[in-house]
Amino acid sequence: MLSILQAEFALTQVLDRPVTGRVFFEQVIRENLDIGRPGQVQLIFDRRVNRRTPGRFRTRVITEGVAPSLHVDYKPSRIKQYHKEGQALRTETTINDTRDFGVGRLLRNLPELRRIGFAANRRMLEIEQISHDCALGEDAFQELQHPRQVDGQRAPALRFADPKVQALLQALVMFIFVARGFTNQELRQATPCCWACIPATSHRGA
């Protein structure tokens, strides 16, 4: 029976202004030098990453003698992104071991691999879009500063001028590269100055 040793899934987006596109891609590279970190790789490939996950988690940028390209690895599989022939942005996901994604090697599994590969391409682009166009609109900013109901649960206002809010945001930044996430207890321990000034009678949403 035929089996799959390697599968590549590519997305090519032709740019209407190639020169501007080259400048854009170089900006994308600069803004995403951390995209090879475990937390980002976990998002892109939709696979759990922990300290026992094999491989080197890094971002490789190749520029010497070639068109600049961005490389992200997950085990033996990888994503490569580059400015193709000065005309398009090309994102390629290459899967070298299907079993890393819970899929067998038989040819009948190609549709599932195709779904996984193109989904990784899309998530890569979504992460880059967030980093490239991350400005928060005035309406959204104002909305955050008022309490609201989310799925029947009260969400308090996030008043950015409040020192307690600033302490909380600083604590959240500490966990940005923790692939497993964090607990409420860990967050409270990271913000002792913030939580120390909150009365014991305050409810959890305060």
What is residue 64's predicted lDDT score, i.e. its pLDDT? 66
What is residue 8's predicted lDDT score, i.e. its pLDDT? 92
CA 96, CA 4: separation in Å to the nearest integer?
9
DSSP state letters, 39-69: HHHHHHHT----TT--S---EEEE-TTS--E
Query: Residue 1: pLDDT above 80?
Result: no
CA 65, CA 181: separation in Å to the nearest integer?
40
Residues 6+ apart with CB under 8 A from 4: 98, 105, 106, 107, 109, 110, 113
Higher pLDDT residue, 113 or 187?
Answer: 113
Q: How confident is the model at residue 111 (pLDDT cuts 50, 70, 90)?
A: very high
CA 24, CA 87: separation in Å to the nearest integer?
12
Q: How confident is the model at residue 24 (pLDDT cuts 50, 70, 90)?
A: confident
Amino acid at site 188? R
CA 134, CA 138: separation in Å to the nearest integer?
13
- Which of 115-119, 182-186, 188-192 has the weakest average pLDDT? 188-192
Arch. (CATH architecture) of 7-132: 2-Layer Sandwich (3.30)
Report how far Cα 89 is from the mean position of its chain's Cα atoms. Answer: 19
CA 121, CA 92: separation in Å to the nearest integer?
7
Q: Which residues of 22-57 are buried (b: 16+ CB within 10 A; e: fewer)?
A: bebbeebbeebeebbbbbbbbbbbebebeeebeeeb
Domain boundaries, the chain: 7-132, 138-196
Residue carrying the six token digits 């490239």: 132
- Crossing angle (nearest 10°) for helices 110-132 and 38-45: 130
Q: How confident is the model at residue 204 (pLDDT cuts 50, 70, 90)?
A: very low
pTM over cut 0.75: no
What is residue 5's predicted lDDT score, i.e. its pLDDT? 87
Most confident of 98-112, 165-179, 192-206: 98-112
Q: What is the mean pLDDT of residues 140-165?
A: 78
Percent of the chain with pLDDT strictly greater than 90: 16
The per-residue pLDDT of the chain, averaged, comes to: 79
CB 66 within 8 A of CB 84: no
Q: Tell me: the pLDDT tens digits for 12-21? A: 988 887 777 7
